[in-house]
Chain A
């Protein structure tokens, strides 16, 4: 982020999170032309010099400088790419730039000897090690798989495997090459082995790159192809220059350096080509998500399997060393020690890996148990809900039965009244029977009307005035010991529904709250409305005795009141009404004492309302 993207003007930049400011664009354009012109000029001069110039100090300086410049610019651009990228892409570019930085330091050493100390072909184990090691971050960068979208699996484990492989790569160098320097000093064997192993490293690198390039699509495919081309050219160049060195025909700036310079220029170009891709994390090259996830699993596992083979091969190598010869020479001793130390280090890394896996597993198991507890709770709720639903299906039958019974009762009571010699007391009783039968009939009617899915009267209802009128209707002001704190925070939100039914719900909740605060000296009923996420939230909080069993309040048959004191159809009706409105009703005991009921209803889109009116 901190670096102004200098090359953005050149190509059409895909939409990124940080839109580039206008100012650096023109600078970038100019800079870009310079960046491209300069290496072209350099290469031109190098070609000319290679064909025409005699080996001289100036040619050496020029050749070294060209290589240095190209590698440095590749490292710099890749580093900038890394800084502006995110996630895997960032790691990819940073690893690549690390590889080129290592390369650069090896070249610097070379140049120091050739240019500063004026020694023709320096012999530098330290520089060789660096040259050899540069391939490790480069391969690791590909193993990071920047072309895949970020998955949630922790990648720490994957990095540990990579680290293991890096250690193994270094071990091979120490075992196979460096022993000819440290255990016995044999320049010829050392050079031979180094060349072999360097070529081997290049081949492995090419194979990995080629496989990755073939398997990707889209812009990353092109990038990988460039990368592959540059790496292939480089491999060729290094073979060529090694042969030239062996034939004693090599000098810096000679014809044999031309492929190398071309490869380096290609690498530097890679950085520029990749700039476009740096913010493109969310565009996976594979079209559907499914193959992406399966191949990402493969990507995660192949370093692990390779690391396993590497780990297990060390004791085998050690045992081979011991069984192949009875008397140990210097190189054997050196190699055995190297093997032992590598084993130690690898075991340490395995220890870390195991720990990480264990921690992951513990977390995963925790998650599983939590998920299952959750599932259990919901299954319980489903059971409850399905029971109630089956009851709902029964309603029509029961209502029919009840209606019939009521009709018969009314009929018989009429007949009793019509009897000639019924006395006053009996008539009175029959009258009461008739009353109760009528009430039953009414209730049944109500139930049936609900069961028949009588469509709700659906109109926009503004909550504020509705609450006002329900407060008035419940005659709160008559109660001296209770004060009301009504706050309409949602800017008078509106819902769609039946105003009458909603009023009944509010009335019921308020009546409940008032009953709960009957015995207190200074109760407060606070009503708050809020508008949140397209939902209207109405909270009724009282300071009364609270709910005995907040979870069961909405269950049918649940009441704390003595029989006959119940009002309306109870809170379960309120529940039904609110659910029919697509809302929710919740209750809880407040920590400071008292109960709080919350009614949540979907809000009406106000802008739509404005359009319609």
Chain B
């Protein structure tokens, strides 16, 4: 049923994209065109969100987190779209500061980037996720800091479009490139269904990035208007994302072929997060010494960096604290396991004598059952011997009974020691 629904959504999205393309040719009134150019993509984004939400509800664990982050990303996209609708259509203002909408648009990329960075296709990555959360958070905040450093002051502190637009374009492009390259690596490494899903997602991101770049270039050059042909990519990309959502509807994590060391991956995530953090004072120093910017911008940037360093630095200490706790915990675990090992060894030592006796008895049982079997055979022959008088046969019968009794006693020992087949051997291999 859900599959049917998502097929409908996909068709709707494609129709919306086509409508938008045709609107560019058919509608010449700027206001109406802007109406189309703003509302149609917003509808597409809603379609995408619906599919992602359905996936989110169906999935579990890391995959669920993946869809959640993507949903958040597209929610932000929807918000930025609604913001544009508000300004273009309701307030009919063209010269209003675009910062809020642009920032929301940029913020879209960050949850998406985090979503692909958790590598939902891999089971082992999902397992190690808990301890990497702080690192992910650090990296996400770092992207926001970059935006706040390069782009925000040109709109908030001094209003300078010639500086603002290129900075925004470059940073959005960088975000896109980060998403695309991560996705490309995932696409290259994964296989079967996941590969297909990543492929479509990659295609969508690629179209999205190219569209965004063209839009921004046009904006800088001054021939962009809402609903122009630069917006086409937007609709197409959203349709592709919808298709990706459809193909990723029922994916589950796969066991990795090569079990990479869990700790090593964590180490690298942590290193990258730390490098990102180190880059902030470097940026500040560079900007302070060589940046040719007006003083208010400089002060804004420095304040931002100091604030960010306080926040991110505390996060780092939280992380270090968690690491230390983990270390202490694992050391105490080792100690306690050594203690119980000692206890087990003492127990083994104590039961050793009785166990040796048991071994001997078991061996003896094996030996005893041989003569018993022989007696049983002979007594059977005797019982069937026609020359023997009836009471002799009766005695043979009695002997048989006694043998059975003895055998039962021997078997009672045997049942106790016969190890459950297979289990024993498994442990002894190593």
Binding site for B on A (CB under 8 A): 304, 308, 311-312, 314-316, 318-319, 322-323, 326, 328, 336-337, 340-341, 343-344, 347-348, 350-351, 353-355, 357-362, 364-365, 367-368, 371-382, 384-395, 397-398, 401-402, 405-406, 408-409, 412-413, 415-416, 419, 421-423, 425-426, 429-430, 432-433, 436-437, 439-440, 443-444, 446-447, 450-451, 551-552, 554-557, 559, 563-564, 566, 569-573, 575-576, 579-580
Contact = CB atoms under 8 A, between A and B. Distances in A.
A527 B193 CA distance: 63
A99 to B, nearest CB: 29
Nearest to B319: A354
A364 B329 CA distance: 9
Contacts of B417: 387-388, 391, 556-557
Interface stretch (B80-88, B108-116, B168-176, B298-306): B298-306
A451 B399 contact: no
A371 B353 contact: no
B366 interface: yes
Given A308-B317, A447-B360, A318 B340 contact: no
Contact of A312 (B314, B338, B378): B314
11 contacts: A347-B281, A354-B323, A361-B330, A371-B334, A387-B358, A389-B357, A422-B388, A551-B425, A555-B359, A557-B417, A569-B364
Interface in B313-359: 313-314, 316-317, 319-320, 323-324, 326-327, 330-331, 333-334, 337-338, 340-341, 344-345, 347-348, 351-359
Contacts of A311: 313, 317
Contacts of B366: 556-557, 559, 566, 570
Given A322-B306, A388-B417, A573-B360, A354 B270 contact: yes
| Interface SS majority for chain A | helix
Interface string B371-405: 11011001101100101110110011011001101
A347 B270 contact: no
B96 interface: no
Given A322-B306, A364-B330, A405-B402, A358 B317 contact: no
Interface string B291-303: 0000100010011
Contacts of A552: 424-425
A378 B385 contact: no
Nearest to A347: B278
Contacts of A402: 368, 406, 409-410
Contacts of A390: 354, 358, 416
B277 interface: yes
A107 to B, nearest CB: 36
Contact of B374 (A308, A350, A392, A436): A436
A382 B347 contact: yes
A434 to B, nearest CB: 9
Nearest to B298: A328
Interface stretch (B2-10, B33-41, B260-268): B260-268
B341 to A, nearest CB: 5
A470 to B, nearest CB: 20
A360 B328 CA distance: 10
For A322, A380, A388, the residue with the greatest tally of chain B CB atoms inside 10 Å of its CB is: A388
Contact of A426 (B261, B356, B382, B405): B382
Contacts of B351: 382, 385-386, 388-389
Interface stretch (B51-59, B195-203, B282-290): B282-290
A571 B360 CA distance: 9
A389 B285 CA distance: 74
A579 B352 contact: yes
Contacts of B396: 412, 416
B412 interface: yes
Given A344-B285, A392-B355, A409-B375, A430 B314 contact: no
B395 A412 contact: yes
Contacts of B313: 311-312, 315, 347
A557 B330 contact: no
Contacts of B382: 416, 426, 429-430, 433
A318 B385 contact: no
Contact of B306 (A318, A382, A405): A318
B427 A380 contact: yes
A206 B27 CA distance: 83
Contact of B371 (A314, A377, A437, A579): A437
A556 B299 contact: no
B46 interface: no
A419 B392 contact: yes
B61 interface: no
B366 to A, nearest CB: 5
A580 B323 CA distance: 50
A392 B368 CA distance: 16
Given A340-B285, A419-B388, A572 B363 contact: yes
B190 to A, nearest CB: 26
Contact of A357 (B320, B355, B359, B424): B320
Given A316-B310, A406-B406, A412-B398, A572 B360 contact: yes
Interface of B: 261, 263-264, 266-267, 270-271, 274-275, 277-278, 281-282, 284-285, 288-289, 295, 299, 302-303, 305-307, 309-310, 313-314, 316-317, 319-320, 323-324, 326-327, 330-331, 333-334, 337-338, 340-341, 344-345, 347-348, 351-368, 370-372, 374-375, 378-379, 381-382, 385, 387-389, 391-392, 395-396, 398-399, 402-403, 405-406, 409-410, 412-414, 416-419, 424-425, 427-428, 430
A304 B321 CA distance: 10
B323 A357 contact: yes
A13 to B, nearest CB: 37
Given A322-B303, A437-B371, 12 more contacts: A361-B323, A364-B334, A377-B430, A380-B427, A388-B357, A391-B358, A398-B410, A401-B405, A402-B406, A440-B406, A564-B370, A576-B360
Contacts of B410: 398, 402
A181 B267 CA distance: 43
A237 to B, nearest CB: 40
Contact of B418 (A308, A554, A557): A557
A340 B356 contact: no
B369 to A, nearest CB: 9
A391 B362 CA distance: 8
B357 A416 contact: no
Contacts of A426: 382, 385, 387-388, 392
Nearest to A365: B330
A350 B355 contact: no
A347 to B, nearest CB: 5
A578 to B, nearest CB: 9
A383 to B, nearest CB: 9
For A392, A421, A425, A443, the residue with the greatest tally of chain B CB atoms inside 10 Å of its CB is: A392
Contacts of A576: 356-357, 359-360, 363
B392 A379 contact: no
Contacts of A351: 271, 274-275, 278
B83 to A, nearest CB: 31
A108 B360 CA distance: 85
Given A385-B348, A391-B358, A405-B403, A440 B363 contact: no
Given A337-B288, A357-B320, A405 B405 contact: yes
B76 to A, nearest CB: 28
Nearest to B357: A392
B310 A315 contact: yes
A393 B361 CA distance: 10
Contact of B367 (A355, A372, A437, A443): A443
B264 A362 contact: yes
A160 to B, nearest CB: 11
A395 to B, nearest CB: 5
A436 B374 CA distance: 7
Contact of A401 (B314, B331, B409, B416): B409
A552 B395 CA distance: 42
Contacts of B378: 429-430, 432-433, 436
A377 B382 CA distance: 52
